[in-house]
Chains A and B, each alone.
Chain A
Amino acid sequence: EDQVTQSPEALRLQEGESSSLNCSYTVSGLRGLFWYRQDPGKGPEFLFTLYSAGEEKEKERLKATLTKKESFLHITAPKPEDSATYLCAVQAGVGRGSTLGRLYFGRGTQLTVWP
């Protein structure tokens, strides 16, 4: 069964204190792994897509990496405006026919960055 587990559930950081969020996944044939940011009362906002092990992508203070079993979202020198829930989702690979488009989400990591 396709599954996505994120840890920790919640993380409190002081401004400037770097850390990493983890996303472990089990899926038969990974087509893509997605990271989203979600602010209260809003929908998930797309950050990155990773397609294969070893791939890395960066955006401002965020860097996402991918291995065959997990992905990390590294946050370097975070600021209070980085506070949000970070969601990881996977898309299963070829051979899934009509279900190819769906995403499987983790429960998210709620990040709070205090000044």
Chain B
Amino acid sequence: EAGVTQFPSHSVIEKGQTVTLRCDPISGHDNLYWYRRVMGKEIKFLLHFVKESKQDESGMPNNRFLAERTGGTYSTLKVQPAELEDSGVYFCASSPQGTNYGYTFGSGTRLTVV
């Protein structure tokens, strides 16, 4: 079974530019999560999709972040415009229906805003 795939693996952009991160979950997983780890801090929740619907987006830092999951398959996370504090590693995870399973995480996208 293919795992959770994220790309790009690395992205370096200038402040004010736009970046779009993509996540392909495990096929058939209804739940898709985005998390972020800022240097020196713990991994923090951003949002949770159940199929194509946003179940919980209370972790999104501000309205510069926009997540979509069209058709309940892959998801994108757009940052527009990017700020220096957005730098970090963005992880995507997926899990089957029901929320008490160990998630499967992707390898992450390392975003650097300069």
Contacts and interface: CB of A to CB of B under 8 A. Distances in A.
Given A101-B56, A102-B48, 6 more contacts: A43-B4, A44-B105, A99-B56, A101-B50, A105-B42, A105-B44
A32 B35 CA distance: 18
Interface size class of B (residues with CB under 8 A): 20 to 34
A43 B108 contact: yes
Nearest to B40: A107
B103 A103 contact: yes
B43 A44 contact: yes
B44 A49 contact: no
Interface of A: 4, 31-32, 34, 36, 41-49, 51, 87, 89, 91, 98-108
A102 B46 CA distance: 9
Contacts of B107: 41-43
Given A44-B91, A107-B42, A49 B102 contact: yes
Interface of B: 4, 31, 33, 35, 41-45, 48, 50, 55-56, 58-59, 91, 93, 99-108
Nearest to A44: B105
A102 B56 contact: yes
Contacts of B108: 42-43
Contacts of A108: 42
In this complex, which of B33, B50, B100 has the most chain A Cβ atoms within 10 angstroms of its Cβ?
Answer: B100
Contact of B56 (A4, A91, A98): A98
B68 to A, nearest CB: 18
Contact of A105 (B31, B43, B58, B104): B43
A100 B58 CA distance: 12
Contacts of B48: 101-102
Contacts of A36: 102, 105
Contacts of A100: 99
A31 B45 contact: no
15 contacts: A32-B100, A36-B102, A42-B108, A46-B105, A98-B58, A100-B99, A102-B45, A103-B35, A105-B35, A105-B42, A105-B43, A105-B44, A106-B42, A107-B42, A108-B42
